[in-house]
């Protein structure tokens, strides 16, 4: 009996540090932040509770609204763009092409690089005076325009392009793995049926890639919500507030504007958006697992 | 038009490995032809070549009087049923059946009629709105057949369609496929490694080994008159008994000699030739009573009762033989046994393995 | 069909290059250009002199190879008032990344092992909370962590930033190892217990040697992740320990007169060099890591 108890004690001890991390850092810090968001803290935490005042202030802040709408524009274009480009690249590589490995390596390498690097490269490419635009115009293509980043209206699309460059490869890898897992006899059946290849991808393959598609879409969306470094490097939020994003808004109010209450309220809002996006996926997979367990 | 499918001098190779070479095969209209062989014998390669799913290196393939060697699978007038069924998992049964027709641009009422007819024939009508995952193995198999059926073609290709099913279902569907063939009267080419399927379904069986057709004949001929040692050993369970020896010409006819035993080949149906030979006889072609031909005096080693019949394994001259008896046997291991070979049903193979 | 009356098809179908095939390769090649041109531009720009750059021919090869921008980027470029190049940042990144990777992978492996084989009470709850925590934006944790670290005297220190990376690295590494150990047959674990081996002995002598592939994948994922981090380094590392990414951004944003694009690009390449090297030399492992990590979504 004594030995048994000793055995069951070591595993619990082994995961104790992680338990502490979860409770103190994850839960503790979250509760603290939540608490702060209901106070009128400025530079230092304050004990004066103001209810939802900070949230009201937040929703009244044009900068926050702009940051959220930028994030929505960026998020939709980035996630959809990555999915479409990634799927097309995967389908193309799936067609028994030569140099498949070389192509795959080239499509994915940007994913290995930091957002700062990505941002700086594209900032340089989109430099209106010395970058691609000037080069093309110098070559005689006078109307060529590629100075998205200096325009208040288009700068966010510049950020999207940089994001697509970095993120599409991830989708490509995941989709290609999914495609290679599909029964080859389906391809043969489709050939006997006379289904053109593009139609097979759209009507037969794509519907079967639901799970990896959902996984990679969640992954990309999480990345969108956390978007910070990319914007800092490529535009630093400008011009004006053209590429302001919530994560940057929070950082500014936290460390530069000494607006602790507002920053924490914004952080909680960001967290809520994650919950809203992830919860349905989680719930669906939970239900699916339950149903599976029920059937078995 | 004499043939439904005709293969002329077919050669298929993957890189340097030649899988099929100089293969010729004519399949008659409305014939049920089974390609039988163990894995790697080239039977699936041949089927895929007929379907147009494999590239051929040489030769011609004709279907219904048309040279389809270069034609796309969809233009060959074939329907195919796959081993894994290859149903499109995210489509309902109805969509699975209709998809190929819709892509081909058939008017929708034509599509609906054909789907309804196929579903009716295969008893799939109540299942039309289900997804493949919600079907049993046998139902999926029927949908796969239905997908070939709606194409309304003359030639059906089956690639080991029953090998993913359990034994009981396999027996049931085997009967259904046979009935389907009788009702439709299509030409069917059926690949399998299961000799029971081959024997029960086929009008003719083509037994393949190393990319070569060893014998092409109706099942009973394959069983009773195997063309060579390979066919003789491949078909039948337990397999045919063999005795190696030599044929000796005598005044009266021919004798067979093995070790210090020698007996006359009187009653053998073929034309023996002097020289080394192998005598083959099936377990049920040995008799305990009314022995007229050669006699084997052995010792019982193992008795396997199977219900309807019993297989008795016995040793004779340090070799193992099997004997099939109807019902139960009274033998116990160690007992002495005396059996005679029914030479009229035996086979004799020459030095090169072909039947004499 | 009419043609078959004239020519009798026989043998291999003549291979014709179809329009679809051409379109496919055209698509792949233009995609490859989209992905490689930025890297190419980065490299050629870093090898040019400023007069060449001012000529605004961004795609042109340099007139002659000029590595002076690299030298400046490495040892002389200014970040704020300090002009010591990106060298210090490189060293800081190494000092931050190595211990963070080792510690987080070790803890993740222990967690995964304990959770999949020993199933301590509450283990599933902890794992669930850990996975949920991985989804929370860092901004939610930042202020409390800053205050907590300040109280412990770890704020703006090397130890502090290493701890932060370990804390936030745990979910991914634990997930990788848990999913890996689940695939190892439990009989193996039971057999070693019957042989009398205890918690640590089974871990060190049986499970760890079996999980070398996962160790490599996890270490690589963590390495690139931590090396590429910007936010945590910016907040927690402190002036003396700023990682390369933060240093790079500071260098690029420091202008004294003209912007030195060649130096900026050289510094950018230097920052990307380590993860790129990992990626190009072990692409397959890298892909495995992404696939394994993405499953959590």
C24, A99 Cβ separation under 8 angstroms: no
- What is the DSSP secondary structure assignment for residue C206, as one 8-state letter? I
**What's the confidence (pLDDT) of residue A279?**
82
Q: Please check whether residue C247 lies inside any domain of the structure.
A: yes
* B79 contact A CB<8A: yes
Q: Please check whether residue B286 lies inside any domain of the structure.
A: yes
Q: Crossing angle of helices A210-226/C283-294, nearest 10°? A: 90
Judge whether residue C274 has pLDDT over 80.
yes
Q: CA of A198, closest CA in chain B: separation in Å?
A: 12
Q: CA of B49, closest CA in chain C: separation in Å?
A: 11
C72, C256 Cβ separation under 8 angstroms: no
B258-273 burial, b at 16+ Cβ within 10 Å, e below that, comes to: beeeebebeebeeebe
Residues B263 and B205 in one domain: no
Six-digit token string for C145: 């962590």
Distance CA B136, CA C174 (A): 39
**What's the confidence (pLDDT) of residue A294?**
62
Q: Which domain holds residue C135?
A: 87-294
Q: CA of A263, closest CA in chain C: separation in Å?
A: 9
**Tally of domains within chain C:** 1
Distance CA B93, CA B130 (A): 6
Q: Is C8's CB within 8 Å of B67's CB? A: yes
Q: Which domain holds residue B219?
A: 5-233
Q: Please check whether residue B219 lies inside any domain of the structure.
A: yes
Q: Beta strands B78-81 and B155-159: pairing type?
A: parallel
User: What are A201-242's pLDDT values in tens digits?
Assistant: 999 999 999 888 888 888 898 889 889 999 999 998 878 889
**What's the confidence (pLDDT) of residue A129?**
86
**What's the confidence (pLDDT) of residue A51?**
83
Q: Crossing angle of helices A155-180/A115-125, nearest 10°? A: 120
> Any idea what the CATH number is for the domain that residue B291 is in?
2.40.50.140
Domains annotated on chain A, with CATH: 59-295 (1.10.3720.10)
| First-to-last C-alpha distance (Å) of chain C | 52
B146, B140 Cβ separation under 8 angstroms: no
Distance CA A169, CA B125 (A): 45
B181, B154 Cβ separation under 8 angstroms: no
> Any idea what the CATH number is for the domain that residue C248 is in?
1.10.3720.10
| First-to-last C-alpha distance (Å) of chain A | 36
pLDDT band at C56 (very low <50, low <70, confident <90, very high): confident
Count of C-beta atoms within a 10 Å radius of residue A117:
32
User: What are C198-243's pLDDT values in tens digits?
Assistant: 899 999 998 999 888 889 889 988 999 999 999 999 999 988 899 9
Q: Is A191's CB within 8 Å of B53's CB? A: yes
- Given B233, B259, B285, the domain boundary residue is B233
Residues B241 and B129 in one domain: no
Residues B38 and B126 in one domain: yes
Residues B229 and B263 in one domain: no
**What's the confidence (pLDDT) of residue C2?**
46
* B272 contact A CB<8A: no
Residues B41 and B146 in one domain: yes
pLDDT band at C17 (very low <50, low <70, confident <90, very high): confident
**What's the confidence (pLDDT) of residue C297?**
38
Q: What are the CA-CA distances from residue A90 to residues A82, A104, A179, B75, B192 (Å)?
A: 12, 9, 8, 29, 35
The DSSP string of C94-138 is: HHHHHHHHHHHHHHHHHHHHIIIII--TTHHHHHHHHHHHHHS-T
Q: Is A26's CB within 8 Å of C130's CB? A: yes
Q: Please check whether residue B356 lies inside any domain of the structure.
A: no
Residue among C60, C245, B214, B102 nearest A118 (CA): C245
**What's the confidence (pLDDT) of residue B1?**
52
pLDDT mean for each 10 residues of chain A (296 residues): 55 90 92 90 80 88 92 95 96 92 92 93 91 88 87 92 94 91 92 93 92 86 90 88 92 88 92 87 78 62
User: What are C160-210's pLDDT values in tens digits?
Assistant: 999 999 999 999 899 989 988 988 888 889 898 888 888 999 999 989 998
Q: What are the CA-CA distances from residue B307 to residues A141, B310, B311, B322 (Å)?
A: 90, 7, 10, 16
Q: Is A183's CB within 8 Å of B84's CB? A: yes
Helix, strand or coil for residue C164? helix
Residue among A38, A291, C270, A70 nearest B134 (CA): A291
Residues B290 and B192 in one domain: no
Distance CA B105, CA A193 (A): 12
Judge whether residue B187 has pLDDT over 50.
yes
**What's the confidence (pLDDT) of residue C4?**
46
- What is the DSSP secondary structure assignment for residue B355, as one 8-state letter? B
Q: Which residues of A touch B88 (CB under 8 A)?
A: 186, 189, 203-204
- Tell me how long chain C is: 297
Q: CA of C6, closest CA in chain B: separation in Å?
A: 12
* C20 contact B CB<8A: no
**Tally of domains within chain B:** 2
Distance CA B182, CA C99 (A): 75
> Any idea what the CATH number is for the domain that residue B134 is in?
3.40.50.300
- Given B183, B212, B233, the domain boundary residue is B233
Distance CA B57, CA B50 (A): 13
Residues B228 and B111 in one domain: yes
Residues B117 and B94 in one domain: yes
Count of C-beta atoms within a 10 Å radius of residue A149:
26
Alpha helices of chain C — where are they, by DSSP H? 3-6, 19-46, 50-54, 68-75, 87-113, 123-135, 139-152, 158-182, 186-194, 199-201, 208-210, 212-227, 231-236, 244-253, 261-281, 283-294
A227-252 burial, b at 16+ Cβ within 10 Å, e below that, comes to: bbbbbbbbbebeeebbbbbbbbbbbb
**Percentage above 90 pLDDT, chain B:** 73
Tell me the count of B-C CB pairs closer than 8 A.
29
Nearest to A135 among C57, C167, C229 (CB): C57
List the subunits that have 3+ CB pairs under 8 angstroms with A. Answer: B, C
Q: Please check whether residue C12 lies inside any domain of the structure.
A: no
B201, B177 Cβ separation under 8 angstroms: yes
HSE toward the beta carbon, residue B124, CA cutoff 13 A: 34
Distance CA B330, CA C2 (A): 72
Residues B213 and B80 in one domain: yes
Residues B154 and B251 in one domain: no
Residue of C nearest to A247 (CA): C139
Q: Please check whether residue B72 lies inside any domain of the structure.
A: yes
Q: CA of C1, closest CA in chain B: separation in Å?
A: 9
Bond into B274 cis (ω within 30): no
Residues B78 and B203 in one domain: yes
User: What are B201-230's pLDDT values in tens digits?
Assistant: 999 999 999 999 999 999 999 999 999 999
Q: Please check whether residue B253 lies inside any domain of the structure.
A: yes
Q: Please check whether residue C77 lies inside any domain of the structure.
A: no
* B52 contact A CB<8A: yes
Residues B54 and B192 in one domain: yes
Helix, strand or coil for residue B250? coil
Count of C-beta atoms within a 10 Å radius of residue B320:
13
Interval B299-322 mean pLDDT: 92
Q: Between the ranges B26-35, B247-256, C4-13, where is the mean pLDDT highest?
A: B26-35
């Amino acid at each position: 009996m004594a030995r048994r108890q000793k055995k069951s004690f070591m595993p619990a001890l082994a995961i104790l540090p992680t338990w502490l991390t979860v409770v103190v850092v994850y839960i503790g810090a979250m509760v603290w932040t939540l608490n702060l968001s209901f106070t009128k803290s400025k530079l230092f935490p304050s004990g004066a509770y103001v209810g939802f005042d900070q949230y009201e202030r937040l929703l009244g802040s044009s900068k926050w609204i702009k940051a959220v709408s930028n994030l929505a524009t960026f998020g939709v274009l980035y996630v959809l763009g990555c999915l479409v480009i990634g799927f097309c690249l995967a389908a193309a590589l799936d067609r028994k092409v030569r140099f498949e490995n070389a192509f795959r390596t080239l499509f994915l390498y940007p994913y290995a690089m930091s957002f700062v690097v990505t941002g700086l490269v594209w900032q340089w490419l989109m430099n209106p005076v010395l970058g691609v635009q000037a080069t093309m115009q110098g070559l005689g293509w006078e109307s060529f325009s590629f100075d998205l980043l200096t325009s208040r209206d288009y700068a966010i699309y510049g950020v999207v392009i940089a994001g697509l460059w970095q993120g599409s490869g991830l989708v490509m890898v995941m989709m290609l793995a999914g495609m290679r897992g599909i029964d080859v006899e389906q391809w043969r059946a489709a050939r006997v049926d006379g289904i053109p290849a593009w139609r097979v991808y759209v009507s037969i393959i794509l519907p079967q890639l639901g799970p990896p598609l959902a996984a990679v879409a969640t992954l990309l969306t999480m990345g969108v919500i956390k978007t910070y470094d990319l914007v800092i490097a490529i535009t630093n939020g400008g011009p004006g507030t053209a590429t302001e994003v919530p994560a940057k808004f929070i950082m500014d109010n936290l460390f530069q504007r000494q607006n602790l209450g507002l920053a924490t309220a914004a952080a909680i809002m960001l967290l809520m958006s994650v919950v809203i996006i992830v919860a349905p996926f989680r719930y669906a997979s939970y239900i699916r697992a339950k149903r599976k367990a029920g059937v078995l | 038009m004499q043939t439904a499918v005709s293969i002329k001098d077919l050669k298929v190779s993957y890189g340097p490995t030649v899988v099929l070479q100089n293969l010729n095969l004519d399949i008659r209209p409305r014939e049920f032809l089974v390609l039988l062989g163990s894995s790697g014998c080239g039977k699936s390669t041949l089927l895929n070549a007929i379907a147009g799913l494999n590239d051929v290196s040489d030769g011609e393939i004709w279907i219904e009087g048309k040279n389809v060697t270069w034609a796309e699978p969809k233009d060959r007038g074939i329907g195919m049923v796959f081993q894994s069924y290859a149903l499109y998992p995210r489509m309902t049964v109805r969509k699975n059946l209709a998809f190929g027709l819709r892509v081909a641009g058939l008017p929708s009422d034509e599509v609906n009629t054909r789907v309804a007819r196929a579903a009716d024939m295969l008893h799939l009508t109540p299942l039309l709105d289900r997804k493949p995952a919600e079907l049993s193995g046998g139902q999926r198999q029927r949908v796969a057949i239905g997908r070939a059926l709606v194409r309304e073609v003359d030639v059906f290709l089956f690639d080991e369609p029953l090998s993913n099913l359990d034994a009981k279902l396999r027996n049931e569907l085997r009967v259904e496929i046979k009935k389907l063939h009788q009702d439709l009267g299509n030409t069917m080419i059926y690949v399998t490694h299961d000799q029971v399927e081959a024997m029960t379904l086929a009008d003719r069986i083509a037994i393949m080994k190393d990319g070569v057709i060893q014998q092409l004949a109706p099942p009973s001929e394959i069983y009773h008159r195997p063309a060579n040692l390979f066919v003789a050993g491949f078909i039948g369970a337990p397999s045919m008994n063999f005795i190696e020896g030599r044929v000796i010409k005598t005044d009266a006819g021919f004798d067979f000699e093995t070790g210090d035993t020698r007996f006359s080949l009187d009653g053998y149906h073929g034309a023996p030739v002097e020289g080394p030979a192998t005598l083959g006889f099936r377990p049920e072609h040995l008799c305990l009573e009314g022995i007229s031909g050669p006699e084997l005096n052995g010792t019982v080693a193992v008795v396997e009762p199977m219900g309807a019949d019993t297989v008795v394994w016995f040793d004779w001259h340090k070799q193992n033989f099997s004997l099939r008896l109807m019902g139960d046997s009274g033998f116990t291991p160690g007992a002495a046994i005396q059996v005679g070979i029914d030479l009229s049903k035996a086979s004799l193979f020459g030095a090169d393995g072909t039947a004499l | 069909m009419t043609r078959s009356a004239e020519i009798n098809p026989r043998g291999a179908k003549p291979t014709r290059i179809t329009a679809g095939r051409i379109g496919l390769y055209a698509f792949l090649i233009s995609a490859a250009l989209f992905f490689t041109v930025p890297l190419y531009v980065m490299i050629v720009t870093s090898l040019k002199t400023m007069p060449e750059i001012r000529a605004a021919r961004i795609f042109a090869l340099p007139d002659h190879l000029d590595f002076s921008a690299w030298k400046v980027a490495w040892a002389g470029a200014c970040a704020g008032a300090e002009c010591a190049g990106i060298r210090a940042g490189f060293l800081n990144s190494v000092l931050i990344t190595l211990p963070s990777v080792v510690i987080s992978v070790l803890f993740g492996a222990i967690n995964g092992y304990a959770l999949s084989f020993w199933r301590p009470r509450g283990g599933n709850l902890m794992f669930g909370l850990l996975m949920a925590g991985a989804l929370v934006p860092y901004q939610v944790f930042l202020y409390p962590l800053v205050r907590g670290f300040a109280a412990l005297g770890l704020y703006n220190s090397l130890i502090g930033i290493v701890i932060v990376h370990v804390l936030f690295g745990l979910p991914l590494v634990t997930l990788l190892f848990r999913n890996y150990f689940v695939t190892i047959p439990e009989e193996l674990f039971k057999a070693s217990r019957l042989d009398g081996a205890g918690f640590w002995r089974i871990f060190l002598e049986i499970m760890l040697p079996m999980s070398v592939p996962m160790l490599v994948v996890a270490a690589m994922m963590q390495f690139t992740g931590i090396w590429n981090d910007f936010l945590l380094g910016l907040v927690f590392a402190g002036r003396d320990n700023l990682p390369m990414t933060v240093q790079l951004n500071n260098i690029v944003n420091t202008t004294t007169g003209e912007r030195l694009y060649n130096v900026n690009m050289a510094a950018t390449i230097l920052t990307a060099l380590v993860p790129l090297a990992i990626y190009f030399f072990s692409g397959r492992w890298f892909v495995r890591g992404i696939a394994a990590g993405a499953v959590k979504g």
